[in-house]
Amino acid sequence: MSPEPCQVAVVGGGLAGIIAAAMLQKNGLKVLLLDENQGLGGQYLRTHPPLPSGGGHFLPRLGAGHMRELAEKGVETVNRAQVLAISPAREILAEEDGQRLFTLRPEAVLLAPGAREKFIPFKGWTLPGVISTGAAQILIKAHGVLPGREMMIAGSGAFIYAVAAEVLANTGRVRAILDHNSLARKIEFAQGVLTMRHKLAEGLGQVARLLLARTPIKNRTRVLEARGDGRLEEVVTTKLDRAGNPLPGSEKTYPCTCLAVGNGFVANLELGQLAGCRLEHNPALGGWIVGVNQEMETSVPGVFAAGEITGVAGAEKSVTEGRLAALCVLHRLGRLSAQAFSDRARPLRKERARQLAFARRFNALHAVPAGIVNSLPDDTIICRCEDITMGEIREAIRGGCRTPLAVKRSARVGMG
């Protein structure tokens, strides 16, 4: 049967979505929460065993508390849900578990779909044994399974260190961390978060674990090639110059059966595109994002957005924006006076500005130097579904293709 009519539809059950849904329901609005996963919480709250009610970092505790609150207040939730269309009039067409279709016409919609990982392909990255850092984290946090007793972790940004720390905390060994960034850039990033107490404590804890395990960290280094007969057996690395070009003669080969790679995150924009929201390109916030105003409203009236979709910056920004978006919806639907809204929104906006400043430092660590892309060999597979190589993409560009869509039509890259 179809869900009951609702006043607000929240799409996405990560931190931003569950915090907003709990606030909206608590203030008397009928809320429907749609999420594509089997359970709420997103990647950040995915844990094995289930998250305890006490102890640990305050954000997981906060998220777990809101998930319990949703259950206690009877917020209707549809898991394994996929939104197929959102009209400018806020009419939603969705499906549940691929089994049934239903439509909604809420007074307001909040988009909170999170982000996904970004990757830079390299020769041999399709071999079994090469996985994403996010996949490694899911195996550990959701299932208590190490993807490999001994691993190498490569890429850029703070997340590769978080995954390495989790591997070590679960009795695994990290043979090395291969980081595209220089030590100077990472020191600059660290200096920028000195006043952010929770992020600083989290980062220091990860560094301490790596130091205690004597995990080698190789700066300005990337994977040149993954090799193996039917599965990963060894990894070839290279040092990089300031432009990201491989330094000839710096190649080294390491035996390796499990390699996790990741190069930051990009916002999940598809829901915003379906709704017709204005998109903005802002590399400092992770690339393409959905634009919002001071009230977290998109260019489509009545459609709001919160979390990584408005700029990649991590869990604390998702919490702040979830709260701010909920206040804006309550004010818009007449559940909060203008004065009360102003008083409660002011500190959240100030906090959001601080977190956006962190986002700029965070995403700077994921910038891809042109030399890394330009140096990819022609036989490097870029599109795994169609086995399209870098050489075929270059040939399409030389043939006159000037947009991603033109390259897709010519070379069939991204057809999946």
* 162 phi, psi to nearest 5 deg: -65, -40
State residue 353's pLDDT score: 94
The label of the residue with tokens 């906060």 reads 62
- Is the pLDDT at 53 greater than 50? The verdict is no
State residue 49's pLDDT score: 47
State residue 414's pLDDT score: 84
Sequence-distant (6+) residues with CB within 8 A of 381 are: 121, 125, 126, 387, 388, 389, 390
- Is the pLDDT at 333 greater than 70? The verdict is yes
Mean pLDDT, range 320-327, rounded to an integer: 97
**CB-based contact 309:290 (threshold 8 Å):** yes
261 pairs with which residues across the strands?
A: 132, 154
Secondary structure (3-state) at 133: helix
153 pairs with which residues across the strands?
A: 177, 260
Mean pLDDT, range 229-250, rounded to an integer: 94
Counting residues of the chain whose pLDDT is more than 70, the rounded percentage is: 96
DSSP 206: H
Tally of CB atoms within 10 A around 49? 6
Mean pLDDT, range 267-292, rounded to an integer: 94
State residue 98's pLDDT score: 83
The label of the residue with tokens 């409660």 reads 344
- Is the pLDDT at 283 greater than 60? The verdict is yes
- Band (65; pLDDT cuts 50, 70, 90): confident
Sequence-distant (6+) residues with CB within 8 A of 74 are: none
State residue 46's pLDDT score: 65
CA 215 to the chain's CA centroid: 25
- Is the full-model pTM beyond 0.85? yes
- Is the pLDDT at 164 greater than 50? The verdict is yes
| 302's tokens | 């009545």
| 240's tokens | 């990089």
C-alpha–C-alpha distance, residues 115 and 310, integer Å: 10
**CB-based contact 157:133 (threshold 8 Å):** no
Residue type, 400: G
State residue 47's pLDDT score: 62
Q: What is the pLDDT of residues 75-94, one digit of tens each?
A: 898 999 999 999 888 999 99
Mean pLDDT, range 16-42, rounded to an integer: 90
- Band (146; pLDDT cuts 50, 70, 90): very high
C-alpha–C-alpha distance, residues 161 and 154, integer Å: 10
State residue 113's pLDDT score: 95
From residue 383, how far is each of 115, 231, 373 by CA, in Å? Answer: 20, 19, 15
